[in-house]
Amino acid sequence: MELAASSPRHVILASTSPRRRELLATLHIPFEVVPSKADEAVPSEWAPEQVVLELALRKAKAVHAALDSESRNAVIIGSDTIVVLDGQVLGKPKNEGEAASMLRALQGRSHQVLTAVACIDAGTGRAEAEYRRTIVTMRPAAEEEIAAYARTGEGLDKAGAYAIQGLGAIFVTGIEGCYFNVVGLPLSLLSEMLGRFGIPVLK
């Protein structure tokens, strides 16, 4: 559990992502991490916006359903990030070869990163979900660079097969929108939502 300044309500992060955990810790509110075992399968015809909102909500709902009565004062946070290129959702690569294939598709172009945040009041069941969109532009990359980066394994658990906060930053020439959205948790959006659930970040 990450502890900082006192908060009137308890926060639960429905994610095992170390990136989301680190970002949430920067808000200096106490929270605990409870892994979500939500099913992430969605219909192929769904729009990217529908996909990311549904998955964020689904993660939060899965944790909410498993809570005991002592956690009724909690607010549960679920989040999901997807990469979208030409209207197609790029998820996490299954292996090094698929990671390299995704990077080839992204290099020399701009793509969208959508991250959704869902908050659920454990006591009342009230839920909200919103998303932010960021445009990321990558430089053209040599095949040797793509293969070498894929071999690092850094992008294997990342949507789009790269980590902007890691070595993957060498491919990024510009972003339009929230940087933290690309990392995996848009802090400005999250702070607004937490405020509406009775957890002001700045008092």
CA-to-CA distance for 154 and 115, rounded, in angstroms? 19
Sign for the pseudo-dihedral over CA of 62, 65, 70, 76: positive
CATH of domain 10-196: 3.90.950.10
Residues 36, 14 contacting (CB under 8 angstroms): yes
Which active-site residues does the annotation give?
A: 80
The residue extents of the domains of the chain are 10-196
Tens-of-pLDDT digits for all 203 residues of the chain? 443 444 467 899 998 889 999 999 999 999 999 999 888 888 889 999 999 999 999 999 999 998 876 677 899 999 999 999 999 999 899 999 999 999 999 999 999 999 999 999 999 999 999 999 999 999 999 999 999 999 999 999 899 999 999 999 999 999 999 999 999 999 999 999 999 999 999 87
